[in-house]
Structure 1
Amino acid sequence: MFWRYDFTRGEKVSAQDILIEDFIADKNSEFGKHKAFFNHLKETGGTVEYFVGWFGVDSINMSIYLNPIVLSNTADLGISIVLCAYP
């Protein structure tokens, strides 16, 4: 089984519009009702992850703060966080 969802529908989301930690917290809230589906995906060999392409502009100093609540909620849903930085 394969499932993929593009949150941004191909559009880039700027950190000036929303912080990644807030974006993930919002998605965790939305996906709480789909926890059984995520568990099924993982039980059948799949993975569930937030893949974040992180593009820097004129700076290589980039940081994300994921507080324990966001991390705990993400882990509770069984979702990994993958950060790919492109400074």
Structure 2
Amino acid sequence: MATAPLKRWVKPEIYPLFLAVGTAVGLCGFAMARNLAANPDVRINKEDRAAGVLENYDEGKRYHDHAVRRYVSDAKPEIMPGINKYFSSSK
């Protein structure tokens, strides 16, 4: 009898909603964890907070230029490069 309420709420039409909400929660969790762990402006320890404003430009640059940004910095801003190349090349 316990499966009847579960069947009422979990239908195949709901799976895309679960996926979208799960993805959003995952991205928010990743952003929060990254900011708490690596952001030079976020200070969790009492000693770090007592230091005040730090002139740590190198740490800020390392945070801003992370691995994904370095990976895509050389790429052309195209969504579908194969299709763009096909339609823009002269025959």
| Fold-level similarity (TM above 0.5) | no
Which structure is higher in strand share? Answer: 1
Structure showing greater Rg: 2
TM-score w.r.t. structure 2 length? 0.23
Indicate the structure whose relative CO is greater, using CA pairs within 8 Å and at least 6 residues apart: 1
Which structure is higher in helix share? Answer: 2
